[in-house]
């Protein structure tokens, strides 16, 4: 009789737990996307599912792991020589360790490889070529020693993915502090670029507007990778790769992107734009309020 009474009590407790779980609902989507969500850095997908007053409840964050969504990034050349041109090689494997060969074209390329040192310096954006065995390769030269993050950014079966792994360059690394937030910066081509981010707040959609000038006059930017410009946003600390997508560009040197920054803190923005045959890069530090 005691065993029967105990069993009845367990059944009652289990029923209450199920009812409570149904009332509370599942875990927020943000956690799943922090581990590798969808929506490419330049895709037309919404940067987040929006609630009242334009707030976003599921901003896309990727680039925190080498494996996600049944895919795995394997780097064949994780160590590179300092200051010498080497060959970066990597593959994307599926859940059965088979090389993936079917990639969609996104931003005029099937693969975007982004490399940056862990102190958010030494940014490079290159486009590897794939061999028949699924190996991607591209020449790469890293001038400063230290640990670097490699992002393989691509679209597979209609879904944007970003997988990440580390690269190493031997030597004593002189890590640099992140520059203070500023609204003006000089590009590597000598252009003056102004950033207007308004009041950037965590969890709310933000429009990042850039204006390019030279000698006080607007610079007409040409299309680059199928848009007015290309923007990579990385979060200080864990170097999370954040979703952005272009929304506007004009012949007055103005380029705009939309994003939902999921957390407060500092972020490093790397803008690339094209003027004639030259692709130029400029970096900003953006402070996001809670």
| pLDDT tens figures, 176-233 | 999 999 999 999 999 999 999 999 999 999 999 999 999 999 999 999 998 999 999 9
CATH entry 2.60.40.10 includes domain 69-169: yes
Which DSSP symbol is given to 42? T
Domain 184-288 CATH class label: mainly beta
Q: Can you read off the two tokens belonging to residue 47?
A: 């940067």
Residues 66 and 63: their CA atoms lie apart, in Å, by: 8
Q: What is the pTM of this model?
A: 0.80
| Mean per-residue pLDDT of the chain | 83
User: Could you tell me which of 189, 187, 208, 188 has the C-alpha nearest to residue 197?
Assistant: 208
pLDDT of residue 60: 64
CB 100 within 8 A of CB 93: yes
What does the domain layout of the chain look like in residue ranges?
A: 69-169, 184-288
Q: What is the pLDDT of residues 12-38, one digit of tens each?
A: 444 433 343 333 333 332 233 333 333
User: Could you tell me which of 130, 284, 275 has the C-alpha nearest to residue 200?
Assistant: 284
Asked which of 7-11, 85-89, 92-96 is least confident by mean pLDDT, the reply is 7-11
- Topology match between the domains 69-169 and 184-288: yes
249: β partners: 255
pLDDT of residue 243: 82
% of the chain residues with pLDDT over 90: 73
Query: Could you tell me the CA-to-CA distances from 278 to 45, 188, 221, 224, 272 in Å, in that order?
Result: 29, 11, 10, 10, 10
User: Could you tell me which of 114, 118, 163, 117 has the C-alpha nearest to residue 142?
Assistant: 117
């Amino acid at each position: 009789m005691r065993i029967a009474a105990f069993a009845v009590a367990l059944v009652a407790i289990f029923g209450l737990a199920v009812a409570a779980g149904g009332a509370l609902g599942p875990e927020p989507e943000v956690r799943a996307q922090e581990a590798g969500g969808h929506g490419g850095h330049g895709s037309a997908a919404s940067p987040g599912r929006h609630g009242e007053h334009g707030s976003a409840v599921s901003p896309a964050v990727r680039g925190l792991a080498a494996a996600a969504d049944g895919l795995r990034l394997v780097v064949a050349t994780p160590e590179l020589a300092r200051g010498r041109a080497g060959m970066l090689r990597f593959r994307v494997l599926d859940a059965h360790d088979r090389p993936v060969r079917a990639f969609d074209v996104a931003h005029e390329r099937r693969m975007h490889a982004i490399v940056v040192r862990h102190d958010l310096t030494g940014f490079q954006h290159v486009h590897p070529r794939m061999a028949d065995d699924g190996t991607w390769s591209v020449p790469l030269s890293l001038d400063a020693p230290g640990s670097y993050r490699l992002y393989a950014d691509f679209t597979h079966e209609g879904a944007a993915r970003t997988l990440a792994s580390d690269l190493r360059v031997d030597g004593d690394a002189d890590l640099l502090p992140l520059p203070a937030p500023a609204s003006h910066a000089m590009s590597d081509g000598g252009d003056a670029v102004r950033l207007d981010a308004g009041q950037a707040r965590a969890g709310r959609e933000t429009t990042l507007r850039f204006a390019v000038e030279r000698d006080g006059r607007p610079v007409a930017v040409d299309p680059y990778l199928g848009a007015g410009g290309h923007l990579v946003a990385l979060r200080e600390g864990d170097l999370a790769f954040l979703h952005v997508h272009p929304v506007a560009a004009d012949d007055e040197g103005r380029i705009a992107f939309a994003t939902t920054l999921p957390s407060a803190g500092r972020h490093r923005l790397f803008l690339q734009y094209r003027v004639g045959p030259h692709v130029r890069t400029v970096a900003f530090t953006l402070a996001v309020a809670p």
